[in-house]
Structures are given as C-alpha cells and as structure tokens.
Amino acid sequence: MSDSEKTLPLDGWHRGRGARMVPFADYQMPIQYEGIIAEHKWTRASAGLFDVSHMGQLIVAGAEAEKGLEGLLPADLAILKEGRLKYSLLLDLEGGIIDDLMVTRRGDHFYLVVNGATKEGDIAHLEERLPRGAVLDHMKEQALLALQGPKAVDALARLVPGVEALTFMQGALFELGGAKAWISRSGYTGEDGFEISIQARDAEAAADLLAAQPEIRPIGLGARDSLRLEAGLPLYGHDLDRSTTPVEAGLTFALSKRRRAEGGFPGWHRIARELAEGPTRKRVGLAIEGRQPVREGAAMVDAAGKEVGKVTSGGFSPCLEAPIAMAYVPLAYAVEGTRISLASRGKIFTGIVSPMPFVPHRYQRKGAAE
Amino acid sequence: MSVYYTKEHEWVAVEGDGATVGVSDFAQGQLGDVVFVEVPEAGRAVTKGGEAAVVESVKAASDVYSPVSGTVTEGNQAVVDEPSLVNTDPEGEGWFFKLILSDEGELAGLMNADQYKAYCESL
C-alpha cells in the first residue's frame, strides 16, 4: 500500500467481512465481498450497505452562502426548502463540469456531498470563489453510508423510527444506535434507499447495526458501478468531466428554470445557446449486441472508420444479462433505435441507442402511490 | 497427465502430445464474475505467450495467453455458452481450448502445482 492510499473509518470493518480492498480515489476501498453479480442482485432484491466515506462532505454557511453558491451552481437555491436535496453541478466558465454533487438546505447552512476523487479540487475552487460572507467547512471526521434497495426502508425504519416518512430527495436529523445521523432518502443505484452521514467514530457501530438486519448485506464498489450504470446515472471522471456540458450530458434537469432565464452562473452563455440550438453531441445509453461488453474508451466510428464519438462507461448488466454502455455520440445519432458502430479490442461492435435508465428507477417520490 | 502453470495464471494439462488450457482458480478469483469468454477455433496456430482467448468479468477484459505453442484442436463451446463455468470449475469444466503441442521442450519453463501455489502466495 502506498502512502497516497489512505484508509477510511470502516477499513478494518470491510477487511473483517472478507472484502477485497483496492485503491480508489486515494483510499483503500472495498471492491467486492462475495462477488459483484451476487451483490448487485441482492441490492435490487433486498438492501445493500455501501461505504461511501471517501466522498467529500462540506458545509457552506454564512449570510452569503446562498448567493455565493448560486454564483457557482445552476441550481435555484432560493426555492430549495429546508431538508430538501438538489442534484447540481460545479461549472467552469465554458460550461464544463468540474464535479457533480448533492446540495441540501439544512437550517442555517447548505450541506454538500461531492465526489471523492475531486473533493480537494472542489474545495479549492469553492474557497477561491465564495464571497467573504460564506464559510466553507470540510467535514473530515464524517463517514457516509448508503443503504439501497427495496427493503432498505423496512430495515432502517426498525432502527430509526420515522425515517420512512422521508420522501425521495428529502433529509432530516435522526438517531441511529444512539448516535446523531443525518439521513436522506437518496442514492446512486436507482433503487429506493437512504444515505446516512454520521461521525467517523460512530461509523463501525452503525455499520454493525445495519449489517445485522436480515435484509442488509455489505456491497462493494464494483456493484455500485454496475448498479449506477443500469440506472443510467453518470459517473464523474468517466461520463462527466470539464469537456462535457450539462446539456450534452443530458442533465438539463439540474438547470433550474429561474437560473436558465437569469443566468449568473459559470458557462451560462454556452449552456443557454446549447439549450436553444441543441448541443453538437449527447450522452446516450447503448445496448450492445452479443454478449461481450464494450468498455470505457472504445471509439464510435462512422462508415469511413473515422472516430466520431466515445464510450464513457461500459459493462455487463447483471439484471439484463447483457452488455450495456453510455457514450457521447453526434446529435444526429442520439435517437432511440439508431445502430452505431463501436471499435473495441480490434473488432467492430454494434450498439443500439437505448432509453435510460436501462433498469427502471424505483424512487419513493412525494405523493406517489405505494 | 501433468499440469503446469504460467505466471499469467493459465494452466496446461498435458497428456502425450495433446494438452488442455484454461485459467487457474487464483485467476478466476481475481477476475470475479466471468460474463464473456472467447476461445480459439480448431486449426488455429497459437504460440507460447501469444494471445489465444479472451475472458471478461463484470469489471474488466483480459487476454488469455497460450502457455505453449501448437495447433488448436477444439475450443470449449460450453464455456462460451456458460461463462460462469470459469468461476465454478476453472480447472475442470471451465477449460478454454485443447491443442497439439509443437514443442514439448516449452513445458520445462513452466511451474508445477506446488511452485505455482508458492508463486500465488508471493503476490
């Protein structure tokens, strides 16, 4: 293990449960326990416990926190209600995506969860640009667990009465095993589920308590990736980066109505133009013919063999038992049912542009019937 | 029958001038759930250390190298149809291909089971 591979609060807990640890985002992280396919299917059928403590948990407080963040994000924070989450994007001046994140209004401050691999850069970006009246705090002693799957609510409500009243993209403060826990109904698998922010010192006891529930098994990063791919959710550093814009990435839901009209966030001019005229390329889902997966980096080629697009995520869908992928393709090809050619491992594969999610989301939205 | 192993985690079981090739139990454990296998067709010439087959898990693709040179007599259609055989029986039903050896002298550079076990423990 190199010095750059730091350990997380649950490092020993994962090893004790037989996880295979790999370096990820500067940390040693569990890639799998019993196997990716088994863990994937368990999460879709019951409930999986994920350690995502590598992610950055930030607080932005102060009188100018709302205005300051609105200057960097395309979200309408003025209408964000107490305890509500909003998916948003840190944007650069050209509309490129610096990171994707969740922002929650929590009392007198905003709580942000950013990606692990990008958190140091995000913090520097925010500190440099937030006004004097906004103060950033990186919660370094905070762990983050995700509990995902159709039985997550039953299992968690047994330990945290009242948590079942949360709806998708809503959070509140609870107690889990006597420790304070900020719990939101959110996640990265397409399933109903929760994300649980607790102090690092309470993380092992919380993980023990959760894993002792019959519905819950610990799940590694491998299945987290295959689950989010089936759910059509982009992964920063792969499907999103500074060369992609929110419009190209199909993330226009993150561009709040008032902000689209008023602007005032980085990259607005390019984004407004792409909204009006359409982008030159788009992120699409692909069903790959045959059984062999096409991986990240494979080129989309035209009839002349010229590279015109790129696969940004690709793998095998355990639920569909077929290879699936995400790719950026020229706008003319971004139509459901279009067949495109992909060059990978010295062969040409056929991808069919397919609607995402590949596997339906099962979020518990407010007002939705059970 | 003698079984030999490579540092790239292939095994080759030799009987006379014929041999069967697959990936080791250690290799399947490292790969994780295998979802795709491509094997060479009968008649194809393979060389020691050259690409001969492909194995893909949920996470990644890997080449399988031939431990010895020779001519392929059969690719295992069963493992193509049911790639998980590589996980459940890697050194049995999960074999990849059979071949006729062209140079039995190449076997001298391979590891036996005990040497391979020690090699895996050193990784």
Question: What would the pLDDT profile of A228-275 be if each residue is shown by its tens digit?
Answer: 999 999 999 999 999 999 999 999 999 999 999 999 999 999 999 999
Interface test with A, best of B26, B30, B33 (most A CBs within 10 A): B33
Question: What is the per-residue pLDDT for A77?
Answer: 98
Band (B1; pLDDT cuts 50, 70, 90): confident
- Locate tokens 């259609």: which residue? B77
Residues A111 and A59: beta-carbon distance below 8 Å:
yes
Q: Which residues pair with A148 in a beta bridge?
A: A48, A193
**pLDDT at residue B122 tops 60:** yes
Picking from B32, B36, B38, the nearest residue to A36 by CB comes out as B32
What is chain A's alpha carbon radius of gyration, rounded to the nearest angstrom? 20
3-state secondary structure of A200: helix
Q: Which residues 39-98 of B are in CB contact (within 8 Å) with A?
A: 54, 56-61, 83
Angle at A348 between CA A346 and CA A350, to 5 degrees: 150
Q: Could you tell me the domains of chain A?
A: 1-233 (3.30.1360.120), 252-354 (2.40.30.110)
Choose the closest CB to B61 out of A31, A36, A295. Answer: A295
∠ Cα A249 A251 A255 (to 5°): 130
User: What's the pLDDT at A201?
Assistant: 97
Q: Give the pLDDT score at A1.
A: 43
**In Å, what is the CA distance from A287 to each residue of A94, A276, A338, B36?**
31, 29, 11, 16
| φ and ψ at residue A95, rounded to 5 degrees | 85, 5
CA distances from B2 to B16, B87, B111, B113 (A): 10, 22, 11, 9
C-beta atoms of A292 and B58 within 8 A: no
pLDDT above 90 coverage of chain B, percent: 97
B interface mutation test: which of A29, A36, A224 has the most B CBs within 10 A?
A36
Q: Residue A4 has what pLDDT? A: 53
pLDDT of residue A370: 44
- Mean pLDDT value of segment B96-117: 96
Does the beta carbon of A32 lie under 8 angstroms from any beta carbon of chain B?
yes
Q: Of A222, A292, A345, which has the smallest distance from its Cβ to B58's Cβ?
A: A222
Instruction: Give the model's pLDDT for residue A184.
Output: 98
**What are the structural domain ranges in chain B?**
2-122
Look over chain B and give the mean of its residue pLDDT values, rounded to a whole number.
96
Domain B2-122 belongs to what topology?
Answer: OB fold (Dihydrolipoamide Acetyltransferase, E2P) (2.40.50)
pLDDT digits 0-9 by tens, B26-67: 999 999 999 999 999 999 999 999 999 999 999 889 999 999
Give SS3 for A340: strand
Beta-bridge mates of residue A109: A61, A106
Residues from chain B that touch A291, judged by Cβ atoms under 8 A, are: 35-36, 83
- Spatial neighbors of A69 by CB under 8 A, at least 6 apart, are A60, A75, A77, A103, A110, A130, A134
**Would you write out chain A's pLDDT as a tens digit for each of its 370 residues?**
444 578 999 999 999 999 999 998 889 999 999 999 999 999 999 999 999 999 999 999 999 999 999 999 999 999 999 999 999 999 999 999 999 999 999 999 999 999 999 999 999 999 999 999 999 999 999 999 999 999 999 999 999 999 999 999 999 999 999 999 999 999 999 999 999 999 999 999 999 999 999 999 999 999 999 999 999 999 999 999 999 999 999 999 999 999 999 999 999 999 999 999 999 999 999 999 999 999 999 999 999 999 999 999 999 999 999 999 999 999 999 999 999 999 999 999 999 999 999 999 999 998 764 4
Q: How far apart are CA A296 and CA A277, in angstroms?
A: 29
Q: Is B33 on the interface with A (CB under 8 A)?
A: yes
d(CA B34, CA A360): 25
Does the model's pTM come out above 0.80?
yes
Distance set, CA A314 to CA A255, A287, A327 (Å): 27, 10, 9
B3 in A contact zone (CB under 8 Å): no
DSSP code of residue A278: -
